[in-house]
Structure 1
Amino acid sequence: MDVQTAVSREGAANPGFFLAIAGNIGVGKTELTTRLSQELGWVAYYEPVIQNPYLDPFYKDMPRWSFHLQIYFLSERFKAQVEISKGSLPFIQDRTIYEDAEIFARVLHAQGSMTQVDYENYTSLFGVMVDFLRKPDVILYLKASPETLMGRIAQRGRESEKGIGIDYIRRLSDAYDAWMVRARAYTEVMEIDTDSVPLQGETPAFRRLVEDLKRRYPRQVELPLDQG
């Protein structure tokens, strides 16, 4: 069975609800993915950051490593999406495959850190891959100001992220805002500005979000945790 058949058959037979958590570097996607997964009993899928062999070199030399990094992320997220499509449980994904092309590759190319040839090859491959994959049922878009994001990046202290500059973060934020306009054409988008609506810790805003998701998608919350 080829990949297209496998994804199409499994995805059509067992369509688990798909909540995507999207947003810039340092906005709090991973923490929120974990907490919502625990609260709702939904399966969590995380971004493959720690295992990525290109991340450290990339932040030291973006033009040299941008294509390698983006291909790695594309490959890993495609494999994750294939696995996701096989399940029947609702799930949450910490950053989607769509952000790779819509945000990161687009910004790297625009700022001259990815050549035209590499960008065309990348987007061609991305276009083939996403034809096999389902789109999120809902995108939860987390926002914060570039200054806030830089503070959070510094606070978590990842060695590989020490070279990130605020101009790069600003470009990514602008690209996210532009993507959300396009994304609303094919899925629901819930937007939260985490500068004014804090979700870290047991805040009223976090509790409202949990209750909102339960109210919107009650059938998903009722699914047993051991279903598979």
Structure 2
Amino acid sequence: MLTKLIIPSNYKPKNRKSSDGYFITVAGNVGAGKSTFTKLIGEKLNFNTSFEKVDDNPYLEDFYQDQARWGFHLQLYFLSQRFQDQKAIGEANEDHIQDRSIYEDAEIFAKSLYDNGKMSQRDFETYSELFYAMMNPYLVRPDLMVYLDGSVDTIIERIHQRGRDMEKKVPREYWLNLHNRYEKWLKEYKESPILTVNINQVDLVENPEQIDAIAREIEYLKNGKIENLQQVR
């Protein structure tokens, strides 16, 4: 099965009007293909798109060389960028698909740095206080999270295919740690339904016909036709 729909048991649906835009956020480990997914599915559905700032990120290369020194700076930069992006999405109230969710910043990456001794308790508490102050009432919740799920081997293979030297040098244990944190976080996430996409089997570049299939599933979810979603699988 290429995809699987998860409705969290503690999920509380948003109060949506028919005129409201549909907001999708795309989550997944580094190298999972979030930017490609966002671009291709956004084009297919005619959604607005926004992308994580990586190539012009002023901290990312320094972070991979010295995570303890630059982790707090990097997370504040991402939090600022993501907050501005998600606030603009809510204000525009149009159909939109976003590369990387704001929730991953806090629940995956900042916590990983703290738990592994690469962010001090003081910095982590400062970051967390800022994050939760931003969440309500300023940010719109997503209507759907697409989670790109795959094995660590698939993640590492895609990282090497992508060709960013700073990521190629990172040991496997780092990606495995993030993978395990994603697995745990997915069970706790409650902001929206989750459409998991199996990237061990899905490659939208090599198999463009998969774009149509996944876009059709998202359209069914957008229109509240979950029964149709079950029929196309």
TM superposition score normalised by structure 2: 0.83
Structure 2 partner of 1:68: 73
RMSD (CA atoms): 2.0
CA contact (8 A) 1:42 1:90 kept: yes
CA contact (8 A) 1:15 1:85 kept: no
SS for the counterpart of 2:130 is helix
Q: Which has the bigger relative contact order, CA under 8 A and spacing at least 6?
A: 2
Task: Give the % identical residues.
Answer: 37
C-alpha deviation, 1:197, in angstroms? 3.5
CA contact (8 A) 2:146 2:195 kept: yes
Please state if 1:199 is matched with 2:204: yes
Structure 2 partner of 1:33: 38
Structure 1 partner of 2:117: 112
CA contact (8 A) 2:142 2:191 kept: no
C-alpha deviation, 1:149, in angstroms? 0.9
Task: Provide the rounded CA distance (Å) in 2 between the counterparts of 1:40 and 1:66.
Answer: 36
1:13-66 alpha-carbon deviations (Å, 9 max, x no partner): x74211011000000000010001110000001001112110000000000100
Task: Provide the rounded CA distance (Å) in 2 between the counterparts of 1:119 and 1:39.
Answer: 39
Task: Provide the rounded CA distance (Å) in 2 between the counterparts of 1:58 and 1:216.
Answer: 38
Structure 2 partner of 1:94: 99
CA contact (8 A) 2:44 2:211 kept: no
C-alpha deviation, 1:203, in angstroms? 4.1
Which residue, 14, 17, 23 being the options, matches 2:28?
23
Q: After the TM superposition, which of the residue ranges 26-35 and 166-175 deviates more from structure 2?
A: 166-175
Structure 2 partner of 1:133: 139
C-alpha deviation, 1:204, in angstroms? 4.2
C-alpha deviation, 1:196, in angstroms? 2.8
CA contact (8 A) 1:15 1:87 kept: no
Structure 2 partner of 1:225: none
Q: After the TM superposition, which of the residue ranges 104-113 and 158-167 deviates more from structure 2?
A: 158-167
Q: After the TM superposition, which of the residue ranges 63-72 and 126-135 deviates more from structure 2?
A: 126-135
Task: Provide the rounded CA distance (Å) in 1 between the counterparts of 2:63 and 2:223.
Answer: 42
Please state if 1:145 is matched with 2:151: yes
Q: How many residue pairs get matched? A: 208
SS for the counterpart of 1:92 is strand
C-alpha deviation, 1:218, in angstroms? 4.4
CA contact (8 A) 1:144 1:193 kept: yes
CA contact (8 A) 2:87 2:140 kept: no
Task: Provide the rounded CA distance (Å) in 1 between the counterparts of 2:142 and 2:198.
Answer: 20
SS for the counterpart of 1:86 is helix
Task: Provide the rounded CA distance (Å) in 2 between the counterparts of 1:71 and 1:143.
Answer: 26
Structure 1: runs of 5+ lacking an equivalent? 1-10, 220-228
